[in-house]
């Protein structure tokens, strides 16, 4: 029998004996980087962080056999020519040896924009040799040949270190040590040199990375301003801020409200659309089809003879008035968020100037917005996938850029889930490339996966289903759904108890305690939250018949609000926002733990500083953590006192297994001394339906005095 010739291992692709289409890898690159975390969909989308976050990166790094590995985390701001790097550390019980091949390092982005990170790893020939030498030496075996092999590795490192300046000094030192290790003489003395700290440090500074493996392509992280994660929003209709009854408010009137909003502790004042409002098919009060001559119309029916998305409603003032409003807001520590709604009224200049941007019905008329059986004849949607999609996309991006030029960097986007995801990916990415300081809030009450897809497409925050999650089980499961898996890496929720579009049933039939409890839940469960003010602080709860929507809705009419009412929630909201500012645990979403209660009408949860806020929770223990935790208990029954025994996860509180600790109620300023994992709480909604506790650890000093941290 004649055998076919076998191709040499040195042969290239396409040589006889090699399967067609299977390239020959570089056999020297033995290290496999199996997974890197954090990552979204395997790195298809960026994770999200804010400036100053510690980004902890983990990787599963494998190699055949028993060779030792080394590696670095590479990171840079996109566009930088050179990578920065920091060493990877093995995560394991024995220093330098990984458990389950897990390695870790971290970096802190110091600027806004898109950053890249990846992992580079290689077989550490020196560490492998050193480990083997040490074991042989301790076992009393002959190490003469091993020392010669080590000297050769040292000479190679000296060649890599050779160069001008300090590196040349390293090369000189390495050559000296190589001679000492290889010189004839006492093996024990040579082994001491070979295993010494000086040589190990020098060899670690000049590793052989010629056969290193690097994960390609790199992963990405969008680094946003801190308000992208932690912010408190207050929705304000400027047209309802006039002091005189029935008069249309102006930006100058709205400026007088800024001090009040800042005093409440909010840091974003959000304005519905400020553009001219169409007159054709204008809606009347409570969304009636028959508008009266004095009805102002819905701000979301954008566009009239006075202009469109880049114009200002003439009754609000001029462009300079708006710029003055933005400057005045910043003087109060507030940022202005502007509503962007990509739709038009029939009177918008786009309709006559660019009819190709709209959908035509068979009778030649333009298709108006519908959500059957509802009809919105006063609103025309755009044809995002129509024949003129490219010019439309560029024009809509210019709308954002125009308002950025006027000083606005935060946008609440109306119904983004009704526009194509590719548009948002392109639009937001191209804007943030030039303006990384921008923040985009998605008003997306839609299916969960579509809501998450918008976050992946670039939205900084998103509205959520919080408004309809009321029971302990609903709230707990909903939060956990956003804390599990990759969702927490890219999705930032914003909790709103109500909006001008949504007046949930529990608020309609609730009490003052309902409004307080919902505000406490929103403000403590989510780092970003907002209220529709001043309707919320005045506990407006009358709904339009048969609808989950406010009666006498401010969307369709001017309103007058008595902010001096004695039953206003102003002091509660002010205290809530102060607690949020003073306690960094409430400024990050992760780290939330729910604690068991024996009463379904009492919910209890805590949050403790974790990786994103600068501390590595996995590397430390509860006893040496930077601080305790925030513990929140809320009575979900607005009518009756409720009692509960809490079963606390003491580790999550950083309180030790059986330690004593103090809880300080940050709302009422009361203090309680607790011991162990069981605690009793009673909450009367007529007084206050919630506790927000600061857990303070008990410390015993050398002089036996007890105090709390």
**Nearest partner of 86 among 57, 110, 128, 115, judged by Cα:** 57
Spatial contact of 42 and 34, defined as CB atoms under 8 Å apart: no
CB of 628 closer than 8 Å to CB of 697: yes
Nearest Cα to Cα of residue 118 among 25, 55, 210: 55
Q: Could you write out the three-class secondary structure of 488-511?
A: HHHCCEEECCCECCECCHHHHCCC
Q: Which of 414, 549, 554, 585 is catalytic?
A: 414
Under DSSP, is residue 154 helix (H, G, I), strand (E, B) or coil? helix
How far is CA 258 from each of CA 77, 238, 385, 441, rounded to the nearest angstrom?
37, 11, 41, 21
* Measured distance CA(652)–CA(631) in Å, rounded: 10
Cα–Cα distance between 633 and 648 in angstroms, integer? 12
Phi and psi for 661 in degrees, rounded to 5? -155, 160
Q: Are the C-beta atoms of 686 and 693 separated by less than 8 Å?
A: no
For the question of residue 116 being annotated catalytic, the response is: no
First-to-last C-alpha distance (Å) of the chain: 85
Task: Quote the CA–CA distance of 304 and 367 in Å, as a whole number.
Answer: 18
Q: Is 489 a catalytic residue?
A: no
Number of H helices, E strands in the chain: 17, 31
Give the whole-angstrom CA distance, residue 515 versus residue 487: 29
**Where do the DSSP E strands lie in 1-111?**
32-37, 47-50, 55-62, 69-77, 84-87, 89-90, 102-107
DSSP state of 240: G
How many Å apart are CA 363 and CA 196, to the nearest integer?
Answer: 88
Q: Are strands 439-443 and 410-414 parallel, antiparallel or unpaired?
A: parallel
Residues pairing with 695 in the sheet: 663
Q: What is the DSSP letter of 527?
A: S
- Orientation angle between helical segments 187-194 and 144-161, nearest 10 degrees: 40
Q: Cβ–Cβ contacts within 10 Å for residue 274, how many? A: 22
Say if residues 234 and 268 touch (Cβ distance below 8 Å).
yes
Residues 6 or more apart whose Cβ sits within 8 Å of residue 697: 628, 654, 655, 656, 659, 661, 708, 709
Helix 448-457 with 421-434: angle, nearest 10 deg = 30
Spatial separation of the C-alpha atoms in residues 53 and 106, rounded to whole Å: 10
Identify the active-site residue in 255, 267, 339, 443.
443
Question: CB-based contacts of 522: which residues, under 8 Å, 6+ apart?
Answer: 466, 495, 496, 497, 529
Neighbours of 205 (CB within 10 A): 14
Stated length of the chain: 709
Rounded Cα distance, 613 and 50, in Å: 10
Residue 366 dihedral angles phi and psi, to the nearest 5°: -85, 140
Tokens 């709860």, located at residue: 541
Alpha-carbon torsion angle 565, 569, 572, 577, nearest 10: -110
Active site residues: 414, 443
């Amino acid at each position: 029998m004649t055998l076919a010739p076998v191709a040499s291992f040195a042969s290239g692709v396409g040589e006889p004996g090699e399967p067609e289409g299977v390239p020959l890898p570089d056999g020297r690159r033995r290290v496999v980087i199996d997974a890197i975390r954090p990552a979204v969909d395997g790195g298809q989308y960026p994770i999200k962080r804010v400036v100053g976050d510690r980004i902890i990166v983990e990787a599963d790094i494998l190699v055949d056999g028993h060779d030792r590995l080394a590696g670095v985390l590479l990171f840079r701001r996109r566009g930088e020519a050179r990578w920065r790097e920091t060493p990877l550390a093995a995560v394991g019980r024995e220093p330098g040896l990984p458990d389950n091949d897990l390695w870790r390092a971290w970096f802190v982005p110091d600027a806004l924009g898109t950053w890249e990170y990846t992992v580079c790893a290689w077989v550490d020939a020196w560490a492998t040799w050193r480990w083997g030498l040490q074991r042989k030496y301790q076992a009393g075996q002959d190490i003469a040949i091993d020392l010669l092999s080590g000297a050769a590795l040292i000479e190679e490192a000296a060649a890599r270190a050779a160069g001008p300046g300090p590196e040349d000094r390293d090369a000189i030192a390495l050559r000296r040590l190589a001679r000492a290790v290889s010189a004839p003489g006492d093996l024990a003395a040579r082994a001491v040199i070979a295993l010494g700290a000086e040589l190990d440090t020098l060899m670690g500074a000049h590793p052989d990375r010629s056969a290193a493996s690097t994960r390609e392509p790199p992963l990405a992280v969008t680094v946003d301003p801190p308000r992208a994660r932690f912010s408190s929003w207050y929705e304000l209709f400027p047209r309802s801020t006039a002091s005189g009854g029935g008069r249309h408010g102006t930006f100058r009137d709205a400026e007088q409200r800024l001090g009040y909003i800042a005093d409440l502790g909010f840091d974003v004042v959000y304005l519905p659309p400020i553009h001219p409002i169409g007159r054709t098919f204008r809606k009347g009060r409570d969304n009636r089809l028959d508008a009266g001559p004095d009805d102002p119309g819905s701000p979301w029916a954008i566009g009239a003879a006075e202009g469109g998305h880049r114009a200002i409603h003439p009754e609000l003032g001029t462009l300079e008035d708006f710029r003055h409003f933005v400057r005045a807001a910043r003087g109060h520590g507030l940022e202005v968020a502007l509503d962007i709604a990509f739709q038009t009224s029939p009177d918008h200049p786009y309709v006559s100037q660019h009819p190709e941007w709209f959908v035509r019905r068979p009778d030649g008329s333009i298709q108006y917005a519908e959500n059957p059986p509802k009809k919105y004849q006063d609103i025309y949607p755009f044809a995002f996938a129509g024949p003129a999609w490219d010019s439309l996309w560029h024009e809509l991006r210019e709308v954002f850029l125009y308002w950025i030029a006027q000083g606005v960097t935060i946008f609440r986007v109306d119904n983004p889930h009704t526009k194509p995801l590719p548009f948002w990916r392109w639009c937001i990415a191209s804007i943030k490339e030039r303006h990384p300081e921008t923040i985009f809030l998605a008003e997306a009450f839609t299916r969960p996966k579509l809501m998450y897809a918008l976050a992946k497409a670039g939205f900084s925050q998103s509205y959520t289903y919080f408004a309809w999650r009321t029971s302990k089980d609903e709230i707990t499961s909903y939060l956990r759904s956003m804390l599990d898996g990759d969702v927490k890496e890219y999705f930032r929720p914003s909790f709103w108890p109500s909006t001008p579009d949504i007046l949930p049933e529990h608020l309609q039939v609730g009490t003052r305690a309902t409004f307080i409890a919902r505000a406490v839940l929103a403000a403590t469960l989510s780092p970003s939250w907002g209220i529709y003010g001043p309707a919320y602080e005045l506990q407006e709860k009358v709904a339009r018949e048969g609808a989950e929507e406010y009666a006498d809705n401010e969307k369709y009419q001017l309103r007058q609000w008595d902010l001096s009412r004695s039953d206003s929630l102003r002091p509660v909201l002010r205290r809530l926002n102060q607690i949020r500012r003073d306690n960094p645990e409430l400024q990050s979403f992760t780290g939330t733990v729910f604690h068991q209660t024996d009463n379904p009408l009492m919910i209890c949860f805590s949050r403790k500083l974790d990786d994103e806020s600068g501390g590595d929770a996995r590397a430390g223990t509860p006893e040496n953590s930077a601080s305790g935790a925030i513990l929140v208990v809320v009575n979900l029954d607005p009518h009756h006192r409720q009692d509960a025994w809490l079963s606390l996860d003491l580790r999550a509180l950083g309180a030790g297994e059986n330690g004593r600790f103090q809880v300080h109620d940050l709302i009422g300023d009361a203090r309680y001394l607790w011991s162990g994992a069981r605690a009793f709480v009673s909450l009367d909604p007529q007084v206050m339906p919630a506790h927000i506790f600061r857990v303070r650890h008990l410390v015993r000093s050398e002089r036996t005095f007890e105090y709390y941290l």
